[in-house]
């Protein structure tokens, strides 16, 4: 079975983000980019699927040359080969999905894994869009997955609980924390990844339907207020929580 | 990618248990298993022996990252890989390497390096353990002391006296006649076990000789050269951690109505720490590259070991000082790094022994600078 994992290359959540001089992009200077954390879960699930069912895991990413670093990381974890769909410019979610859908079709993949969201733009939508374009079934925010032949039984995280659903291949699964514990890339994997191929091709042409007008940092948080340090402060605290913060 | 992976692994799996390793004087078995599964017990060795294929540079990068969190764990890995297994890699025949290295690289077996004896510390050549070839077997008798990993090892690279001089052997724990002493009680790297080993008529198969008879001392010295680079890496990793912790602490600790990082006295300590780190990193990787190119690094390794181990004891001292009373408290890890750093000036050749090697070379070359 052909298994595809789609990955993005995102700023490490520990780095400090600075908005670039154009006010529309982030300043990439000094920013470390990593494999999107949710995509690590997707890679792990793809590898587990391969281990259980056999098949080939292909890692696909849309973006500039640097995205190869994250593809390599997935290869080091154990994926078989990579495809970089090159595009140096900003692409909205629909554009990314278009490029991915075209490649997935060409690969004839039966199951496709995504992270439930990419921690850069946080749109949480590329997996679903891709499924729609391909006409595949889609399970989003999966926290449990069982594959039995063509049949899929999955659990999704929903507000305040879990939903159990059944569907079938071909399908797109977007992965949520808790689905699995992503493995570390072992030294052997890191070495082997150097010998695996990453195919490069231009991403399918797409017109953006979303334009970024401005990017700005949220206003800094107001410093906290200390009302007092002993029990005499409680009435005032309760009043503030009721009247100002309106939380009780 | 290697360094990033080891950092990720260290932060998630080693750092959270580093204080526990120190207190309980034991590296959890589960952690040792994970380290083996990842390939960190064979980082430097070629892939054909089951290693990672990352050479000395890769090994040093990995040790650096691990020591940022835990010197005990780094000492365990170092004794296993860069001296225990490396003696076989550097000195052994192809058959011997194929016999032992794959299991050692995979972490299925743990190695130790057994050179030191009661009368043979710095003067390793004075060792008394002996091996006699009788009926196609080497019969080994003697006692080794201060052997890192002895208590958890499955096999030992042992150096003993034979008719033709000092010779190395691979001795499996289960050959019979081997007894391991209790854990030494130490000031630092407490999680790394150190024991005595005694050999009482241990029968070693003839083919377990490391290289040729009488060549053991050279093998031991070459092995220690690689080990000394590892000590450089451990020193560097600890020093980087100290700088980071200290700069962060100084930027949030207020005295005299300001952050202590404003004081020149603190900045000067951070400056000395930074300068030492720059020098350590530079000489370490310069030497490690030479090692990977197969060049002679006898002087380089001594310089790296001497400089880095001395530097890290100064750096840990500064870091502790910057933290004031909190640096002395066991609530923070500063005192652990301070204690752990101290061994680096002693094992694998003391500071004085490194100076002897470097000084002799300077005299021999009439002071002409060439490494
Ligand atoms: C925690 C720990 C782990 C160890 N692990 C191992 C191991 O895995 N395998 C192994 O084989 N050994 C191991 N050792 C032994 C270690 O290598 C020796 O302790 C070290 O080489 C010093 O030998 P020594 O302790 O006998 O000190 P000594 O040789 O007695 O030295 C005492 C002092 O005299 C100085 N000195 C000695 N000779 C001279 C000289 N000619 N000129 C000037 N000064 C001199 C030394 O520098 C030192 O300051 C370990 C030791 C420790 C403490
Ligand atoms: C084991 C122990 C026992 C103790 N016993 C007692 C006791 O019995 N009674 C008691 O009262 N206290 C006691 N103390 C407290 C001790 O005196 C303080 O820890 C010490 O004065 C340092 O203060 P600090 O820990 O707050 O460090 P800090 O004052 O925060 O100092 C941190 C670092 O900043 C440096 N620094 C601070 N100000 C300046 C400056 N202006 N210029 C340059 N550098 C500066 C310091 O030298 C230090 O390196 C004890 C502490 C310990 C650890």
Record: contact B8-A187, CB cut-off 8 A: no
With beta carbons less than 8 A apart as the criterion, state whether A103 and A202 touch.
no
Ligand 1 centroid distance, CA of B149 (Å): 17
Nearest residue in chain B measured CA to CA from A76: B1
Q: A211: how many CB neighbours lie within 10 A of its CB? A: 8
pLDDT digits (tens, 9 = 90+) for B153-203: 999 999 999 999 999 999 999 999 999 999 999 999 999 999 999 999 999
Specify the pLDDT at position B201: 98
pLDDT digits (tens, 9 = 90+) for B85-115: 999 999 999 999 999 999 999 999 999 999 9
Closest of A5, A85, A3 to residue A51, by C-alpha: A3
Specify the pLDDT at position A248: 84
How do the domains of chain B map onto residue ranges? Answer: 2-108, 112-214, 217-364
Q: Is the CB of B140 under 6 A from ligand 2?
A: no
pLDDT digits (tens, 9 = 90+) for B230-271: 999 999 999 999 999 999 999 999 999 999 999 999 999 999
**Is residue A224 very low, low, confident or very high in pLDDT (cuts 50, 70, 90)?**
confident
Specify the pLDDT at position A140: 95
pLDDT digits (tens, 9 = 90+) for B314-327: 999 999 999 999 99
Ligand 2 centroid distance, CA of B327 (Å): 10
* B2-108 placed in CATH 1.10.540.10: yes
Specify the pLDDT at position A225: 84
- What span, in angstroms and rounded, lies between the C-alpha atoms of B278 and B236? 9
User: Considering every ligand atom, which ligand is closest to the CA of B124?
Assistant: 1
Specify the pLDDT at position A129: 97
Q: Is A41 on the interface with B (CB under 8 A)?
A: no
Specify the pLDDT at position A218: 87
Q: Is the CB of B325 under 6 A from ligand 2?
A: yes
ipTM of the complex: 0.84
Q: Which of B108, B172, B348, B352 is the catalytic position?
A: B348
Please indicate whether residue B281 is annotated as part of the active site: no
Closest of B275, B277, B238, B256 to residue B324, by C-alpha: B256
pLDDT digits (tens, 9 = 90+) for A19-30: 999 998 889 888
Q: CA of A43, closest CA in chain B: separation in Å?
A: 16
Mean pLDDT score, A137-145? 97
- What span, in angstroms and rounded, lies between the C-alpha atoms of B265 and B258? 14
- Number of Cβ pairs < 8 A linking chain A and chain B: 36
Domain at B112-214, CATH class: mainly beta
Specify the pLDDT at position A183: 96
Residue A194: strand pairing partners: none
Give B217-364's CATH code, choosing from 1.20.140.10, 3.40.50.300, 1.10.10.10, 3.30.565.10: 1.20.140.10
- What span, in angstroms and rounded, lies between the C-alpha atoms of B329 and B324? 9
Residue A206: strand pairing partners: none
With beta carbons less than 8 A apart as the criterion, state whether B335 and B327 touch.
yes
pLDDT digits (tens, 9 = 90+) for A61-89: 999 999 999 999 999 999 999 999 999 99
Mean pLDDT score, A215-234? 88
Q: CA of A71, closest CA in chain B: separation in Å?
A: 12
pLDDT digits (tens, 9 = 90+) for B220-232: 999 999 999 999 9
How do the domains of chain A map onto residue ranges? Answer: 2-202
Closest of A226, A179, A151 to residue A43, by C-alpha: A179
pLDDT digits (tens, 9 = 90+) for B324-363: 999 999 999 999 999 999 999 999 999 999 999 999 999 9
Residue A146: strand pairing partners: A153
Specify the pLDDT at position B64: 98
Mean pLDDT score, B14-22? 98
User: Considering every ligand atom, which ligand is closest to the CA of B323?
Assistant: 2
- Cα distances (Å, whole numbers) of residue B295 to B93, B223, B283, B300: 20, 14, 15, 10
Q: Whose CA is nearest to atom 12 of ligand 1?
A: B116
Domain A2-202 carries which CATH code?
3.40.50.620
Specify the pLDDT at position A82: 98
Q: Over 90: is that where the pLDDT of A192 sits?
A: yes
Side by side, the strands of the sheet bearing A161-168 are A161-168, A151-158, A137-148, A171-175, A111-115, A2-6, A56-63, A81-86, A198-202
């Amino acid at each position: 079975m052909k298994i595809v994992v789609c990955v993005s290359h995102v700023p490490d959540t520990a780095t400090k983000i600075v908005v670039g001089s154009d006010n529309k992009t982030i300043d990439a200077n000094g920013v470390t980019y990593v494999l999107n954390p949710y995509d690590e879960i997707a890679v792990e699930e793809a590898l587990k699927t391969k281990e259980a069912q056999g098949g080939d895991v292909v890692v696909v990413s849309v973006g500039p040359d640097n995205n190869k670093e994250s593809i390599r990381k997935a290869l080091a974890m154990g994926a078989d080969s990579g495809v970089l769909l090159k595009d140096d410019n900003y692409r909205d979610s629909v554009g990314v999905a278009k490029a991915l859908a075209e490649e997935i079709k060409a690969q004839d993949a039966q199951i496709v894994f995504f992270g439930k969201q990419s921690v850069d733009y946080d749109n949480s939508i590329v997996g679903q869009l891709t499924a729609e374009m391909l006409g595949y079934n889609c399970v989003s925010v999966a926290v449990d997955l069982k594959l039995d032949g063509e049949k899929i039984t999955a659990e999704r995280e929903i507000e305040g609980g879990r939903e159990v659903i059944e569907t079938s291949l071909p399908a797109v699964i977007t992965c949520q924390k808790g689905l699995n514990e992503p493995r570390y890339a072992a030294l052997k994997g890191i070495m082997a990844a150097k010998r695996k191929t990453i195919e490069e091709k231009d991403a399918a042409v797409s017109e953006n339907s979303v334009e970024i007008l401005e990017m700005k940092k949220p206003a800094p948080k107001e410093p906290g207020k200390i009302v007092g340090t002993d029990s005499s402060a409680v009435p005032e605290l309760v009043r503030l929580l009721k009247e100002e913060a309106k939380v009780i | 990618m290697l360094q990033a992976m080891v950092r990720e692994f260290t932060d998630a799996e080693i750092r959270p248990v580093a204080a526990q390793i120190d207190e309980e004087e034991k590296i959890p078995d589960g952690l040792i298993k994970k380290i083996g599964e990842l390939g960190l017990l064979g980082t430097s060795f070629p892939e054909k022996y089951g290693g990672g294929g990352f050479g000395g540079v890769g090994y040093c990068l990995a040790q650096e990252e691990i020591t940022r969190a835990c010197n005990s764990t780094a000492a365990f890995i170092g004794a296993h890989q860069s001296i225990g297994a490396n003696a076989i890699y550097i000195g052994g025949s192809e058959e011997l390497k194929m016999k032992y290295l794959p299991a050692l690289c995979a972490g299925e077996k743990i190695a130790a390096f057994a050179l030191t004896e009661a009368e043979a510390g710095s003067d390793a050549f004075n060792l008394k353990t002996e091996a006699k070839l009788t009926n196609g077997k080497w019969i080994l008798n003697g006692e080794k002391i201060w052997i890192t990993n002895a208590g958890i090892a499955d096999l030992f690279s042992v150096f003993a006296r034979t008719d033709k001089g000092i010779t190395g052997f691979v001795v499996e724990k289960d050959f019979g006649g081997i007894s391991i002493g209790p854990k030494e009680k130490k000031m630092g790297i407490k999680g790394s076990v150190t024991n005595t080993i005694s050999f009482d008529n241990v029968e070693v198969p003839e083919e377990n000789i490391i290289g040729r008879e009488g060549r053991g001392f050279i093998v031991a010295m070459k092995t220690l050269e690689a080990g000394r680079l590892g000590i450089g890496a451990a020193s560097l990793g600890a020093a980087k951690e100290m700088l980071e912790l200290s700069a962060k602490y100084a930027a949030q600790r207020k005295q005299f109505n300001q952050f202590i990082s404003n004081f020149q006295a603190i900045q000067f300590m951070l400056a000395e720490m930074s300068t030492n780190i720059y020098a350590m990193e530079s000489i370490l990787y310069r030497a490690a590259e030479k090692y990977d190119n197969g060049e002679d690094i006898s002087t380089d390794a001594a310089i790296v070991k001497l400089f880095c181990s001395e530097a890290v004891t100064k750096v840990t001292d500064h870091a502790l000082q910057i933290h004031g009373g909190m640096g002395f408290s066991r609530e923070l890890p500063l005192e652990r790094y301070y204690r752990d750093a101290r061994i680096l000036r002693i094992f694998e050749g003391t500071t004085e022994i490194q100076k002897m090697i470097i000084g002799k070379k300077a005299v021999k070359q009439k002071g002409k600078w060439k490494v």
